[in-house]
């Protein structure tokens, strides 16, 4: 039940701009194409907050990261932004 609630939050927040998929036991992947890294970072934080504050049957926390296919100015190739609640 909680996984469905989290999935619902992610799909509602992403709309048609992203693909949301379950990736493993309690993990989800959100794939966004054609979006600048800065906007992806903003969306990742919005998703983290939305999941963390959702009224689910059990308490839910969220963490994630943003990865870019192309080099991004200001980020080293090993930099990964982690978002933790």
pLDDT in tens, the chain (85 residues): 888 899 899 999 988 878 898 888 888 888 888 888 888 888 888 998 998 888 888 888 787 778 776 666 666 554 445 555 4
Answer positive or negative: Cα dihedral of 13, 21, 24, 66: negative
Total domains in the fold of the chain: 1
Q: Please list, in sequence order, all residues whose beta carbon lies within 8 angstroms of the beta carbon of residue 12, skipping any fewer than 6 positions away.
A: none
Q: Rounded to an integer, what distance in angstroms lies between the CA atom of residue 77 and that of residue 10?
A: 27
Give residue 27's domain range.
2-84
Strand partners, 77: none
Q: What is the pLDDT of residue 71?
A: 62
Stated pTM of the model: 0.73
């Amino acid at each position: 039940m909680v996984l469905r609630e989290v999935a619902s939050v992610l799909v509602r927040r992403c709309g048609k701009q992203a693909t949301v998929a379950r990736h493993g036991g309690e993990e989800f992947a959100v794939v966004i194409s054609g979006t600048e890294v800065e906007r992806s970072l903003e969306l990742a934080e919005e998703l983290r907050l939305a999941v963390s504050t959702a009224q689910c049957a059990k308490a839910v926390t969220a963490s994630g990261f943003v990865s870019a296919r192309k080099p991004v100015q200001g980020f080293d190739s090993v930099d990964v932004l982690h978002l933790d609640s």
